[in-house]
């Protein structure tokens, strides 16, 4: 399908739900998870929904914990990078309960807390969260989307500088099986023609 048809399909899935909706878009950064999440915002707003956009990369753990085993340790990238507890506690759970959420927790570049204030979204709002290696962490969400590609495609898009992360994504595939866990799986070997996996 085309990217716009994919966006329409996901928007329809969200609008079919009742009340507040939490949408997780999971995938290695070079596969375009953030771009797909961004593309959902305006159509959902046009349909009358308030939309909250959150990035998992704003909920990383401090550098002392992320890099305890080195800056290029694939196991640490999978296990120690994301503050999953904070993401659930400060964003996903309170948003479902009362529309309240923390937009960001940690500035990874400065390696310090953002001190961002809490915000609240009124009505049947939609929270759209993008990130890497999100599934299998007991996050509650009404819709989960996983972007995937062949290992060779992922290696090419990660490039030489991020090649050390390949074992992390391989472990993720083996241990979490995101293609079995996600509500929607999209193959993006060719980003101009994403393919919806029908199970």
In which residue ranges of the chain is pLDDT below 50? none
Among residues 129, 132, 125, the alpha carbon closest in space to that of 88 is found at 129
| Residue 187 DSSP one-character state | E
Give the pLDDT of residue 132. Answer: 98
Q: How far is residue 134's CA from residue 150's CA, in Å, rounded to a whole number?
A: 19
Residue 76: give its domain's CATH number: 3.40.50.300
Q: How far is residue 150's CA from residue 167's CA, in Å, rounded to a whole number?
A: 14
State the total domains in the chain: 1
Specify the pTM: 0.95
Give the pLDDT of residue 199. Answer: 78
Q: Compute the chain's Rg from CA coordinates.
A: 16
Is the four-CA dihedral 49, 94, 66, 78 of positive or negative sign? negative
Tell me the residue range of the domain where 144 lies: 3-196
Give the pLDDT of residue 29. Answer: 96
User: What residues form DSSP beta bridges with 196?
Assistant: 186
């Amino acid at each position: 399908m085309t990217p716009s048809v994919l966006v329409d399909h996901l928007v329809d899935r969200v609008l079919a739900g009742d009340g507040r909706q939490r949408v997780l878009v999971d995938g290695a950064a070079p596969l375009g998870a953030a771009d797909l999440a961004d593309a959902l915002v305006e159509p959902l707003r046009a349909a009358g929904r308030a939309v909250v956009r959150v990035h998992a990369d704003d909920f990383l753990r401090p550098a002392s914990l992320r890099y305890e085993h080195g800056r290029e340790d694939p196991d640490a990238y999978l296990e120690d990078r994301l503050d999953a507890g904070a993401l659930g506690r400060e964003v996903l759970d309170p948003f479902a309960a009362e529309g309240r959420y923390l937009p960001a927790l940690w500035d990874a570049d400065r390696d310090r807390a953002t001190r961002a204030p809490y915000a609240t979204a009124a009505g049947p709002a939609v929270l759209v969260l993008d990130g890497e290696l999100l599934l299998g962490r007991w996050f509650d969400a009404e819709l989960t989307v996983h972007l995937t590609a062949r290992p060779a495609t992922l290696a090419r898009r990660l490039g030489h500088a991020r090649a050390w992360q390949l074992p992390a994504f391989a472990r993720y595939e083996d241990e979490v099986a995101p293609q079995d866990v996600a509500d929607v799986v999209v193959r993006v070997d060719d980003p101009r023609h994403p393919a919806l996996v029908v199970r």
